[in-house]
């Protein structure tokens, strides 16, 4: 039988945030109540969530235990899935700043062994924005339109390794250390990652997270909630303003449950009633993740679950992620008006 431990924690209440937005006791209590909400037809929330401004945790909530029986906390590691793409984009922009990569150059310039015709025309910028049109290594359709494909970022990982002569995971670890994301990594952190649960015909089954080396740039990051919250902050600190603007420029419109969402370079960009939002999510068997960063307020919501429900009903699978996001946007919007 599964046994869960619930740890709601309020570390901030009733104080003025640096930008003038206020998260009162009642505001953050809304987050706790939502995380505790039982929804008909789906399991209760299992994982960790937190709200952070800068490096200060304003609110956190955990439910569940690690494989070793320890209660989850903000440092519990989970597979973060496609949040890895944001990290990969940041690594690539570092190389652009150094002059070792050109976003407008074709893939073949850096991977000359590729023989496919598209390699001579698809640019690094196209891979970063999922507008390459690649279906697989031998098929390209609708170049210039948004088509989400892990292959884009796996190729970017290959390019990074080719120009730096450093394996992707080692290059990424250097950035994680710079960001003080001390609970994050790749295969080296797999033993510390909490086991996941995936839904199979309405039943949750245990799964041990695994990601092959070639998929690390697109989905192999293992990270804690507190570390994921540091990622958008670190990107702003470690990259030039020009690079950050390039990453977060709304380049390609994508179909999304939130409405009008654009994709930049490894980052989703949305205009909300609370202002601009940068985000990325992840879904792999056993784990669902998302971060939502509001740069004006330097506020980040992170929700990591170690259970993945049937993606055929994705709104059900990400119910807690979306409902907590809605509360944060509503509070920020109301405080701006007030």
The angle at the Cα of 315, spanning 271 to 72, to the nearest 5 degrees, equals 95
What is residue 22's predicted lDDT score, i.e. its pLDDT? 58
Q: Which of 109, 134, 136, 130 is nearest to 254 (CA)?
A: 130
Where in the sequence is the domain holding 132, given as residue range(s)? 6-337
Mapping DSSP to helix (H, G, I), strand (E, B) and coil, where does residue 37 land? coil
The C-alpha atoms of residue 265 and residue 133 are separated, in whole angstroms, by 15
Structure tokens at 180: 């003080």
Q: Give the pLDDT confidence score for residue 21 in this predicted structure.
A: 45
- Please give the Cα distance from 325 to 31 (Å, whole number): 9
**Within-domain flag for 1:** no
User: CB neighbours of 42 closer than 8 A, spacing ≥ 6?
Assistant: 309, 316, 319
Answer whether residue 317 is part of any domain: yes
- 145 lies in some domain: yes
Q: Identify the three-state secondary structure at position 227.
A: helix
Give the pLDDT of the chain (338 residues) as one tens digit per residue: 333 333 344 333 333 333 444 588 889 999 999 999 999 999 999 999 999 999 999 999 999 998 888 999 999 999 999 999 999 999 999 999 999 999 999 999 999 999 999 999 999 999 999 999 999 999 999 999 999 999 999 999 999 999 999 999 999 999 999 999 999 999 888 888 889 999 999 999 999 878 889 999 999 999 999 999 999 999 999 999 999 999 999 999 999 999 999 999 999 999 999 999 999 999 999 999 999 999 999 999 999 999 999 999 999 999 999 999 999 999 999 988 76
Token pair listed for 139: 């098929």
Domain count, the chain: 1
Q: Which residue, among 49, 61, 43, 63, has the nearest Cα to 3 in the 3D structure?
A: 63
Residue 47 maps to a domain: yes
Distance CA 179, CA 190 (A): 20
- Report the sign of the C-alpha dihedral through residues 269, 272, 276, 280, in that order: negative
pLDDT of 335: 86
In a domain, 258, yes or no: yes
Residue 311: inside a domain: yes
CATH (domain of 110) = 3.40.710.10
């Amino acid at each position: 039988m599964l046994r869960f431990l619930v740890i709601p924690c309020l570390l901030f209440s009733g104080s003025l945030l640096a930008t003038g937005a206020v998260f009162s006791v009642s505001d953050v209590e809304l987050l706790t109540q939502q995380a505790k909400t039982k929804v008909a037809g789906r399991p209760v929330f299992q994982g960790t969530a937190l709200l952070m401004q800068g490096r200060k945790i304003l609110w956190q909530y955990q439910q569940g235990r690690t494989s070793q029986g320890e209660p989850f906390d903000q440092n519990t590691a989970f597979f973060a899935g496609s949040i890895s793409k944001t990290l990969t984009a940041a690594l690539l922009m570092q190389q652009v700043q150094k002059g070792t990569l050109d976003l407008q150059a074709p893939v073949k310039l850096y991977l000359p062994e590729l023989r496919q015709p598209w390699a001579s025309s698809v640019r690094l910028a196209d891979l970063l924005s999922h507008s390459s049109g690649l279906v697989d290594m031998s098929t390209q359709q609708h170049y210039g339109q948004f088509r989400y494909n892990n292959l884009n970022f796996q190729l970017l990982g290959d390019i990074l390794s080719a120009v730096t002569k450093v394996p992707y995971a080692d290059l990424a670890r250097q950035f994680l250390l710079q960001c003080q994301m001390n609970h994050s990594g790749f295969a080296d952190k797999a033993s510390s990652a909490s086991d996941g649960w995936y839904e199979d015909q309405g039943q949750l089954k245990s799964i041990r997270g695994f990601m092959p080396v070639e998929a690390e740039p697109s989905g192999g990051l293992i990270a804690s909630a507190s570390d994921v919250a540091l990622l958008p902050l670190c990107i702003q600190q470690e990259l030039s303003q020009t690079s950050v603007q390039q990453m977060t420029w709304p380049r390609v419109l994508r179909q999304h449950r939130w409405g009008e969402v654009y994709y930049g370079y490894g980052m989703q960009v949305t205009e909300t009633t609370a202002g601009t939002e940068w985000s990325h999510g992840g879904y792999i068997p056993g784990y669902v993740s998302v971060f939502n960063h509001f740069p004006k307020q330097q506020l980040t919501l992170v929700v990591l679950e170690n259970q993945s429900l049937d993606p055929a009903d994705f709104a059900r699978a990400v119910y807690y992620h979306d409902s907590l996001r809605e509360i944060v946007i509503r509070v920020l919007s109301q405080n701006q008006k007030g």
